[in-house]
Structure 1
Amino acid sequence: MKTQVLYKSRTGNTEKLAKAIFEAIPGQCKDIAPLDGQINYEMGDIYFIGFWTDRGSASVEVLDYLGSLQGKKIALFGTCGMGNNPDYYKKIEENIRVFIEDDNEYLGAYMCQGKMPISVREKYGRMKNAENEKMVNAMLHNFDMAMLHPDAEDLRAAQRFVKDIYEKLEREEQSYE
């Protein structure tokens, strides 16, 4: 089975995850590329599709590509600057997963925090006033914590995600034999 890793990265965070995921894919029948206007939907049997998060979803280009895949095995991976929160990550996954057609096999998602552009921190600072000081301080703290991600543990977790998928696929294949 050929595996394709496609990703959209704005600040380099998702590209780091894509490279770690690519390294963890077993065998030689694999490829990695930025998602940049591809219209070939037959590049693989298994797809790992990566994205950066904007307002709880992925870019239109990622969503359109996902919606065009048919009869594939698809796993998602992404980075999110706002919040290091599994519940929020699950909500993002659900928002994106709905674009995957039913004739595909959904393999799951891996999400981690990623650093944001400094312009975001500056915007938060300008928003601060007496009424929202506590909330903005929390946003600034989150921004500062996100500057450390994706870190080595995030990359290892992404690779474990891949390993788990391939182990599951192998078990399924053996049960059919």
Structure 2
Amino acid sequence: MLDYLVVYDSETGNTKKIATEIFASLPGMSKDLINLHERTDFPEAKIYFVGFCVHRGTCRLEIGNFLSGLSGKSVALFGTCGAGNNPEYYKEIASSVRIWLEDDNHYLGSFICQGKMPLAVRQKYESLLNTPKDCDCQQIRRQLQNFDEAMIHPTRTDLENAALFATECIEKVKSV
């Protein structure tokens, strides 16, 4: 059995960056880093770090299925989200993903940060500005501003905070 298993789903590479940083911060050699879509067999671990990209306020079904298969484990969640840097929204996301975990797991918490989005998202917002009167142009401009701010994420600070989160999760398990 491994001490740590980092499993992630990354569509744009943002979550992979966080997963890699968490993996690098974990002590010892008894650990593995696995892209959910590259393996079907997963080793047992004492602590699971499960990463996801946010889609419509939650994780994709594949991550949900992975989480629902865990029982009696210590589990920490992490993810990246293009939509705004909003801690309250991040709490809602973590709650919606945590639902997949069985009650017999020890939930260690979550880390979510902003991540850049594909250019097609910006192009969609721009095209909405050219629509008829029913356009909420103010909201679309805020979305464009958020898109531009997200382009630098995850930042070095985001990565450092992810590593700190991993360390805190390990300490929680040690204190139990």
Shared fold per TM-score greater than 0.5: yes
Supply the AA of the counterpart residue of 2:86: N
Query: Across the two proteins, how many residue pairs are aligned to each other?
Result: 172
Counterpart CA distance in 2 for 1:70 and 1:58 is: 19
* Corresponding residue to 2:168 among 164, 169, 176: 164
Aligned to 1:48: 49
- Calculate percent identity across the aligned residue pairs: 44
* Corresponding residue to 2:151 among 127, 147, 152: 147
Q: 1:132 offset after TM fit, Å?
A: 1.0
Aligned to 1:70: 71
Aligned to 1:175: none
Counterpart CA distance in 2 for 1:141 and 1:75 is: 31
Counterpart CA distance in 2 for 1:117 and 1:157 is: 24
User: Which structure 1 residue ranges, 4+ long, deviate > 4 Å from structure 2?
Assistant: none
Aligned to 1:108: 109
Counterpart CA distance in 2 for 1:71 and 1:21 is: 22
Aligned to 2:11: 10
Supply the AA of the counterpart residue of 1:91: E
Q: Which moved more, 1:130-139 or 1:118-127?
A: 130-139
Gapped regions of structure 1 (runs ≥ 5): 173-177
- Two-structure CA RMSD over aligned residues (Å): 1.4
Is residue 20–residue 158 contact of structure 1 (8 Å, CA) maintained in 2? yes
Counterpart CA distance in 1 for 2:165 and 2:54 is: 19
Gapped regions of structure 2 (runs ≥ 5): none
Is residue 74–residue 173 contact of structure 2 (8 Å, CA) maintained in 1? no
Counterpart CA distance in 2 for 1:47 and 1:165 is: 10
The 3-state SS of whatever aligns with 1:27 is coil
Report the TM-score when normalising by structure 1: 0.93
* 1:74-114 C-alpha deviation (Å, 9 max, x unpaired): 00000000111000000000000000001111110000000
Report the TM-score when normalising by structure 2: 0.93
Q: 1:167 offset after TM fit, Å?
A: 1.8
Supply the AA of the counterpart residue of 2:123: E
